[in-house]
A and B are shown apart, each in its own frame.
Chain A
Amino acid sequence: MHVPDGFLDAPTSAATAAVAAAGVALALRGARRELDERTAPLAGLSAAFVFAVQMVNFPVGAGTSGHLMGGVLAAVLVGPWTAALCLTVVLVVQALLFADGGLTAIGTNVTLLGLVAIGVGWGAFRLLAAVLPTTRGGVLAAAGVGAFLSVPVAALAFTGLFALGGVADVALGTVAAAMGGVHALIGLGEAAITVVVLGAVLAVRPDLVHGARALRRATLLAGRPPSVPAGAR
C-alpha cells in the first residue's frame, strides 16, 4: 500500500509530512531506549528483511495482490520506536531509488505504514500479550492479531486522508469499502508472514526479540537456563 503522488492534494500531503516528521523525531528518542549493542544489528536486518519481503506481492482473490507491510513484525522484533525508524528507512529508499510510492507522498506513507500501522498493531499486541499465556504461542498469537489489524486500519486511515484531501471527487463510502475489504484479506497474509518469521526467530534467538521479554523472564523464573549462547555478543 504505497500511496503514489497525485492521490492527495498538497495541503494534506504537507500535513502528513509534518506528522511523519514529528513521529520520526519521537522515534529517534524512543529508539535509544530500545537499542543496545545486541539489538542494533537486528534493527538493520529487520529493515532489510521488510524491504525484501515487500517486493513479493501475494495474490488475494480476483486480480488483486498485496504485500507485507512489516511494521508489527519489526515492532515485536526490535521495539515499536525502532520499528518506526526501520519502516521510514524502507519507505524512503523505495521512494527515492525505486520510484515505489510518491516523493510528495513519503510523509503520507511513513504516517500510514510506519506510525498508524505500528501504533495500532503494537497496541493490540501489548493488550493481547498481557491477557494471553506467557508462552511462545501466546506471543505469536498476539503478534498475528496485531499484524492483521494493522493492515485494514492503515487502509481506513488512508480513506480518512482521502476524505480530507483526495483530489478526485468520488463517493467516500466506496473508497472505504474497497480499501477496508481488500486490506482485510491482505491482513491475513500479513499475519501469516509475521507469525512464521517471528516463530523462526523465537526458535533460534528468543533473547533478541523485544516483544518476548516477558517470555524470557518467565523462563528465568522457572529456573531454566537462559538461551543466550556463550559465544554471542
Chain B
Amino acid sequence: MSAGTALRRGRTPWLAGLAVALLVAGVLSWYASASPDGLEWAAGQAGFLDTAEDSAAAGSPLADYQVGGADSRLSGGLAGVAGVAVTLLLAGGLAWALRRRGRDAATPAD
C-alpha cells in the first residue's frame, strides 16, 4: 500500500497526469494512424469530400500538428507539447477564474 499511498499524495498525481499528457502528445502521437478519420471516410463514401476547403488557419506555424511546416518526428512532438501547454493554460485559467467568482458569489466555501 505504501507505493499507492505515495502516488495519492500532494502534487504527485498532478505531475503524473501532466507527464502522461505530454508523452501522448509529444511521443505517442507519432504512431497515430494516418488513415482518413471517420468523417473523411464517410465524406468520401457519400461523395462530398471534395467540398472541404482549406482552413484560413492553414498558414499557421503549427498547422497540421507540425512546427513551421517541417514533417518530422521532432516537429510533430513539439507541436503536440505546445498544444498541451496552450490548452492547459487556457482551460486551467478559465476554470480557476470561474472557481473564484463562483465561491465569491455563493455561500462560503465548504
> Measuring CB to CB, which residues of chain A are less than 8 angstroms from any residue of chain B?
1-7, 28, 31-33, 35-37, 39-41, 43-53, 55-60, 63-67, 78, 82, 85-86, 89-90, 93-103, 155, 158, 162, 166-168, 170-171, 174-175, 178-179, 182-183, 185-186, 204-205, 227, 229, 231-232
Contact = CB atoms under 8 A, between A and B. Distances in A.
Contact of A98 (B65, B92, B96): B65
Interface of B: 5, 7-10, 13-14, 16-18, 20-22, 24-25, 28-29, 31-39, 41-43, 45-48, 51-58, 60, 62-65, 79-80, 82-96, 98-99, 101-103, 105-106, 109-110
Contact of B20 (A39, A49, A183): A49
Contact of A85 (B45, B48, B94, B102): B94
Chain B interface, DSSP helix/strand/loop, else mixed = helix
Contacts, number: 250
Nearest to B88: A48
Given A32-B102, A49-B17, 11 more contacts: A36-B99, A40-B96, A41-B14, A43-B91, A46-B91, A64-B37, A65-B38, A98-B79, A99-B58, A103-B55, A175-B48
A6 B54 CA distance: 8
Given A41-B92, A64-B37, A66-B37, A48 B55 contact: no
A48 B15 CA distance: 13
Between A31, A40, A46, the greatest number of chain B beta carbons within 10 A of the residue's beta carbon is seen for A40
A60 to B, nearest CB: 7
A41 B21 CA distance: 14
A158 B46 CA distance: 13
